Amino acid sequence: MPRNGSGIMTTTRLFSFFARRSHALAAAVFGALAFAAPAAAETADLPMVGVPKNWGIGFQPSASPVKHEMVWFHNDLLMPVITVTTIFVMMLLLYVMIRFNAKANPKPSKTTHNTLLEFVWTLVPVIILVIIVVPSLKLLYLADKTADAEMTLNIKGYQWYWGYEYPDHGDIEFSSYMIPEKDLQEGQVRLLSTDNPVVLPVDTNIRLLITANDVLHSWAMPALGVKMDAVPGRMNETWTRIEKEGVYFGQCSEICGTNHAFMPIEIHAVSKEAFAKWVEKQGGKMPEKTAEAAVTDAAPTAEN
């Protein structure tokens, strides 16, 4: 009899244990779904803007002022300079090979100096470098930071995922992991889609503060012209202003370990109205509402 009673008690305890674990697991799953649902609801119909194309050549479509300048710098300045220099050097080599080979020129010249030629081949590269360096420095200055940021996004790299925080919107905070290939749904991109995409408003100057928790990472978004190292113990700053609503993808661009290739970045750029709704659903507050609440709270004190 005692043995049977002990068996019944053990069975009851096991049942209770598994019941508690099942409830905890269900709560975690539904909590994650509830967290991810607002972002999906606000961004379900967004076009894929910043996504790699099969056999694509060149840059992704530009979607920020910095990226526009980068494309101009590459296509309209560097490419002509490189092309002209390459053609000139190739033609010069062909001329030297034909004009001064042993058969065409059996008695080579013994000239060792030519003042004009040496002056030209010293001055011309300097002029080319000056032409390149002036817009290059302007571009570096433009990409450095914005003086009139409208919001801030804190970004932290981990092995191997990204963490995000919205300090101006009630400290909304979440982690973003790559969706495994077996769990991909229609419309999601292999190795690039994440479980919790970053939601940002368009036509907004966004300060990006980037750091890392463990090793070096690099937060790179090609369509936005952003690529900033995430360094442990250091906060690097850059900025962006997204011009088009849509979905944008990036990746860690610093070899950070075994799963370096599996920590993508997914941004959903939405209208300011949709962003405000997303913030509210995440339990945060827009800065203007926070300011209004602060003024309301301070008003009775001022009257007293």
The C-alpha atoms of residue 241 and residue 146 are separated, in whole angstroms, by 10
* 45 token code pair: 């119909």
Segments making up each domain of the chain, as ranges = 65-105+116-144, 151-288
Amino acid present at 38: P
- Strands (DSSP E) along 12-128, which ranges? 48-50
- Answer yes or no: CATH 2.20.25.90 is held by domain 151-288: no
The C-alpha atoms of residue 158 and residue 228 are separated, in whole angstroms, by 15
The 8 Å CB, 24+ separation contacts for 76-85 are 77/131, 77/132, 77/135, 78/132, 81/128, 81/131, 81/132, 85/128
The pTM of this model reads 0.77
| Digit-coded pLDDT (tens) for 248-265 | 999 999 999 999 999 999
Interior angle at CA 217, CA 211 and CA 221, nearest 5 = 90
**Distance (Å) of CA 26 to CA 12, 32, 174:** 21, 10, 20
The C-alpha atoms of residue 49 and residue 45 are separated, in whole angstroms, by 12
| Digit-coded pLDDT (tens) for 153-208 | 999 999 999 999 999 999 899 999 999 999 999 889 999 999 999 999 999 999 99
Mean pLDDT, the chain cut into blocks of 10 residues (304 residues total): 42 44 41 43 74 88 96 96 96 93 86 89 94 95 92 97 96 96 92 96 97 97 97 97 96 96 97 96 85 55 50
**Residue 54: half-sphere exposure toward Cβ, Cα within 13 Å:** 2
